[in-house]
Structure 1
């Protein structure tokens, strides 16, 4: 009897996105198992393609003679069956190709990691785990969600939490000789997820936790190591080498662990998956930048449905996507119980401040509170922009200064620095204003560095720290200082900040985009939650519903209002969207192929000015979630048809491919900042 291997090819071509049958040679039958890497012939024996064995069957679908597998690259099964199932479902949902998803899930081959895994002691088992209670919530609330494999939207504990130090810490480091472990200070959300993961591991099930930023990975890992042994925690993040990722992947397939990391962590293989969790799912870092451009939240939803695992979305200010699932009663609404919330004080008037405090955009009441707090602890000042100023203008005529290479805005990282393009990074040496010919520029607006300079004068003798994208900080010590940080770059402090100032609120809200209010509310709440329990947070220059929601810490209201508006406009996430980019003829044909699957009028086609190909247009179609499978299948079929079609040029026999049609489902770009 012939043994047949069904293989998925490592190819981005949509017409090859299916399983191919290959004969397994007798000498490879023992090692050729689902999940191994192979090389197989494609079309001709001289052309080889990489692939993964998905399954082994006795008979294939192809009636003719099958080609044989050329080479077994490695006997180590790196593609878990559940990950292949997930990749297939995710690709189908996004009208994409499964091999593109597998590139995110499976790192390139690392021989050293595979040899170490093959040489392991199979009889070894990790130490058992005890489950601490999940603090900050009603007794047994989250434990019940996890045990019953239910789903919940969890409002995070809004202040840092002290966890007992790791076992074997060797002392408290305070010199008192009592030998007690130092407490570990972590954000409230990290403590909650660590305790939830410990409950999952105590039942000998795995947990997968995805977070948006490297700072969040550090905080979460610190919290996990306070309640779990280190061999139970594995990382999957962008800062790892391929060797580290390969080692983590094989470790996760061996015994139950907690897999943590950024976007790719949600694809981590897991032994008996019991929990999938995400922190701050509204963060744009969760949008995959490579095809098929699937949001990590959607991958988590698909995987939870396939595996039956518990699902937690933890945040301070929830996204409209999660709010939609809560209002559909698909997610439980879980809030902290008897927990202190930040004392947020909206301060609309800024004119009462004087001197350097006014130059730093700080009202007098906030300045007095920050000055007093800076005497005994750190103060956090959140600003909108990095650098010295938000932009540069001609000192003579006031014309905005732009890059001569790409046309992007010029900026200055600090006072006296050579102007530099914010888009391409080119230095504007010898800049001349195209309007008046003047060669000098001056800054406008106030970035983090300029704010720090002003605060250095407003707080004489106080240490000033700047944290932004070019100067990342994970943590600052709990001693008197003023920390000026751009949104999302705020470092943590053991025990929390003594005071928090949220500046530039009007500027943040002035951006154009569908999710501006969601994003700004996340920036504010995440910063305010870094304060110590009971610390004051001043929201400067903002009034209305957002200020009220912050002051009362009732953050579900803005999400509900925003979702209601989106339903009326037929905008995501009330409906799903698909963008089609290509020639006018190709895009029109794709829209016509969808027939009645759209939920509202088609937007476009309109020209895409920044596309590399002239004449490119884009159209956006909106459709109900119930039509998602139909729309994705139709658009993928259209992409395959366009990719496979060849046409003859006039006046000769040369042939070339038809114009490419690009399709992207749930595309955030047309609705983002412009």
Structure 2
């Protein structure tokens, strides 16, 4: 007998143990597989919206709920499923007893978290927004539900807030300038749903008024409130006002600045019902507020309310759809009035909350420099001067009582330069880009390639001198500092935005949207280079100019002054002098209606490579009465076509564009960008 044969009996027991362990492991795997395939006893079918941004797959798919996941697979939870050979995420929308699918259902791979982050109301709103803007629900839900933060989800939840008593007297006193406000607040406190467009007077502490409207809804009727404002500075102002009116810990803010953990914590507080008052920027429009009673949009004409990601929804339209679906009150406010808000008033959908005109005249006096013959006789150069003597007089008088705001529309020092002799625009010798001067001691620099030109000479006349037809905020601050040497001058623009200034005399130079709030209000407001605001070739040029001017003048203290430098015949400046943003919005609406432009019509753009745009036009089945304008060149190697229909056919246009998206997605054609009611053309 060989040595191997003698060793075999000793080796066999170890081999048997290995075989037994392998069989036992195989049995356990088989049992686990059977458990995974065993359906839940109650409602074993899960309707899942798969997170795939393809228009032709924007529908629910049925999956099997295994018995092991029966308790965790709740409606609104995040899940992982097998789809098209890959594991992808999705949202479990509902559970059903049966499925329409005749074949065998694939089981859920896993439940990411049993936290129901997608409420039924927000899920339905996402469908409305996707249909309105011809997009996919998965894209809308990326805007609505923040990414999961596991540690925050497992942390101790916030204690539910309890609303205090509603002080109707304080709310009525805060809104006393508005005659119709008392009835509006009373209806909110009675669980009704009034809808109003709020014409905010200059010098108004609008965050406090918003807070009192929120108190009427939250403390008065026990319902939730959602406030959307353009930027984080406005969020902070409204948050402070809500704390003063409602008390500490009664609301949350939803912005991207605090970071993902803080944002997800506040989102969960709203989703779980611990907080029912929310203030935030545009993404907060989808906050899952329970028993929503009031939605508020401040300054709805601000372009920050327009989402930059597909399907490009607008905060105002999102909240109006939400108000219709959830039967809530609406408050659209601003110092200026958008054409869309005017449309809501003219249609009777909303009513106006305004201030009587006699009272408005006491709040602010707006003039235009060089507007009268007497002023021109006293200062013949007033019409052509950038800062006429009348402006220096107003600034000098106002500095005796408080700060002065100077709004200038351009950032930098000398935003554009030209030959001092022949007025030819200065161009780069390398790439022919426009030159500008970034600072008082800096050489001209190209805005395209960044090349400095210390020895620049005009290519037409050879002259080396430069003039600045367009001056930025830095140069403006420098000029005013020379004119008022004993007064501090501060700048607020670009990356150096100042949130607030004190009541002491100072000159504050700011670009539009970066104006700081002054304690007690500004003594005077100066609007420079108004012609530059009106030089943009855009559909909303006049409306946007009036909005930016009105927002600056709105920061003046009651009884203060404002002076604009520009052509006194400009309709926008005339509306500012009369403080009649409502009349200007009505004028704009009438002009757009005559030209068949929004909001009198529904409009959409299709942008992309010329070949892709041609394919889209071939596949598009436009509704009856549609006009197709273009295609025309739009940027480098791109074309754009505009599709326009009467307002009554707007839903048909969105449906046709959605069908186009589905066809292109199914055929894997080159992508195009489709925007319904774009904020600008």
- Superposition TM-score, scaled by structure 1 size: 0.86
Question: Structure 1 pair 105/196, CA: closer, same or farther in 2 (3 Å)?
Answer: same
Equivalent of residue 79 in structure 2, options 32, 38, 52: 38
Counterpart in the other structure of 1:518:
543
Q: Is the 8 A contact 2:608 2:672 kept in 1?
A: yes
2:197 maps to 1:153: yes
Equivalent of residue 551 in structure 1, options 577, 590, 598: 577
Counterpart in the other structure of 1:82:
121
Q: Is the 8 A contact 1:129 1:228 kept in 2?
A: no
2:39 maps to 1:11: no
Pairwise CA distance, 1:523? 1.2
Pairwise CA distance, 1:417? 3.0
Q: Is the 8 A contact 1:304 1:310 kept in 2?
A: yes
Question: Structure 1 pair 560/145, CA: closer, same or farther in 2 (3 Å)?
Answer: farther
Provide the secondary structure at the position in 1 that maps to 2:363. coil
Counterpart in the other structure of 1:654:
none
Counterpart in the other structure of 1:287:
306
Pairwise CA distance, 1:415? 1.1
Question: Structure 1 pair 597/145, CA: closer, same or farther in 2 (3 Å)?
Answer: farther
Task: Measure the CA separation in 2 of the matches of 1:144 and 1:542.
Answer: 45
2:590 maps to 1:564: yes
Out of 55-64 and 440-449, give the one that drifted further: 440-449
Structure 1's unaligned 5+ residue stretches are: 161-187, 646-656
Q: Is the 8 A contact 2:256 2:263 kept in 1?
A: no
Q: Is the 8 A contact 1:205 1:256 kept in 2?
A: no
Equivalent of residue 633 in structure 2, options 607, 628, 647: 607
Counterpart in the other structure of 1:472:
497
Counterpart in the other structure of 2:234:
216
Pairwise CA distance, 1:369? 2.3
Pairwise CA distance, 1:376? 2.6
2:300 maps to 1:255: no
Equivalent of residue 454 in structure 1, options 479, 499, 509: 479
- RMSD of the alignment, in Å? 2.8
2:452 maps to 1:414: no
Q: How does 1:501-650 map to 2 (within 5 A)?
A: 501-544=526-569, 545-582=571-608, 586-588=612-614, 590-591=616-617, 597=623, 599=625, 601-611=627-637, 616-645=638-667
Out of 529-538 and 346-355, give the one that drifted further: 346-355
Counterpart in the other structure of 1:195:
212
Provide the secondary structure at the position in 1 that maps to 2:171. coil
Out of 449-458 and 274-283, give the one that drifted further: 449-458
Task: Measure the CA separation in 2 of the matches of 1:357 and 1:218.
Answer: 40
Provide the secondary structure at the position in 2 that maps to 1:480. coil
Task: Measure the CA separation in 2 of the matches of 1:64 and 1:401.
Answer: 72
Pairwise CA distance, 1:408? 5.5
Counterpart in the other structure of 1:345:
367
2:26 maps to 1:26: no
Pairwise CA distance, 1:595? 5.1
Provide the secondary structure at the position in 2 that maps to 1:461. coil
Pairwise CA distance, 1:94? 0.6
Provide the secondary structure at the position in 1 that maps to 2:501. coil
Structure 2's unaligned 5+ residue stretches are: 1-40
Task: Measure the CA separation in 2 of the matches of 1:453 and 1:361.
Answer: 14
Q: Is the 8 A contact 2:409 2:532 kept in 1?
A: yes
2:166 maps to 1:140: no
Question: Structure 1 pair 319/156, CA: closer, same or farther in 2 (3 Å)?
Answer: same
Task: Measure the CA separation in 2 of the matches of 1:304 and 1:152.
Answer: 12
Out of 355-364 and 259-268, give the one that drifted further: 355-364
Instruction: Provide Cα deviations, 1:5-49, integer angstroms capped at 9, x if missing partner.
Output: 1111222121221111111111111111011111111123xx100
Equivalent of residue 658 in structure 1, options 669, 674, 677: 669
Task: Measure the CA separation in 1 of the matches of 2:432 and 2:100.
Answer: 56
2:350 maps to 1:331: yes
Task: Measure the CA separation in 1 of the matches of 2:234 and 2:536.
Answer: 26
Q: Is the 8 A contact 1:356 1:455 kept in 2?
A: no
Pairwise CA distance, 1:438? 9.0
Provide the secondary structure at the position in 2 that maps to 1:445. strand
Q: Is the 8 A contact 2:613 2:639 kept in 1?
A: yes
Corresponding residue pairs, total? 621
Task: Measure the CA separation in 2 of the matches of 1:59 and 1:514.
Answer: 52
Task: Measure the CA separation in 1 of the matches of 2:621 and 2:90.
Answer: 36
Question: Structure 1 pair 547/658, CA: closer, same or farther in 2 (3 Å)?
Answer: closer
Task: Measure the CA separation in 1 of the matches of 2:316 and 2:338.
Answer: 11
Question: Structure 1 pair 10/64, CA: closer, same or farther in 2 (3 Å)?
Answer: same
Instruction: Provide Cα deviations, 1:68-126, integer angstroms capped at 9, x if missing partner.
Output: 1111111111111111111111011111011111111111110122012xx3377x543
Q: How does 1:173-322 map to 2 (within 5 A)?
A: 188-202=205-219, 203-253=221-271, 254-322=273-341
Counterpart in the other structure of 2:26:
none
Pairwise CA distance, 1:356? 13
Out of 289-298 and 506-515, give the one that drifted further: 506-515
Out of 543-552 and 318-327, give the one that drifted further: 543-552
Provide the secondary structure at the position in 2 that maps to 1:133. helix
Q: Is the 8 A contact 1:256 1:272 kept in 2?
A: no
Task: Measure the CA separation in 2 of the matches of 1:640 and 1:92.
Answer: 12
Question: Structure 1 pair 556/125, CA: closer, same or farther in 2 (3 Å)?
Answer: closer
Provide the secondary structure at the position in 2 that maps to 1:192. helix
Task: Measure the CA separation in 2 of the matches of 1:366 and 1:32.
Answer: 67
Question: Structure 1 pair 554/438, CA: closer, same or farther in 2 (3 Å)?
Answer: closer
Task: Measure the CA separation in 1 of the matches of 2:568 and 2:466.
Answer: 35
Task: Measure the CA separation in 1 of the matches of 2:581 and 2:609.
Answer: 44
Task: Measure the CA separation in 2 of the matches of 1:109 and 1:434.
Answer: 58
Instruction: Provide Cα deviations, 1:313-350, integer angstroms capped at 9, x if missing partner.
Output: 10121111111111111111110355643211222358
Counterpart in the other structure of 2:11:
none
Pairwise CA distance, 1:306? 0.7
Equivalent of residue 450 in structure 2, options 415, 427, 440: 427
Q: Is the 8 A contact 1:24 1:69 kept in 2?
A: yes
Equivalent of residue 384 in structure 1, options 397, 409, 423: 409
Provide the secondary structure at the position in 2 that maps to 1:99. helix
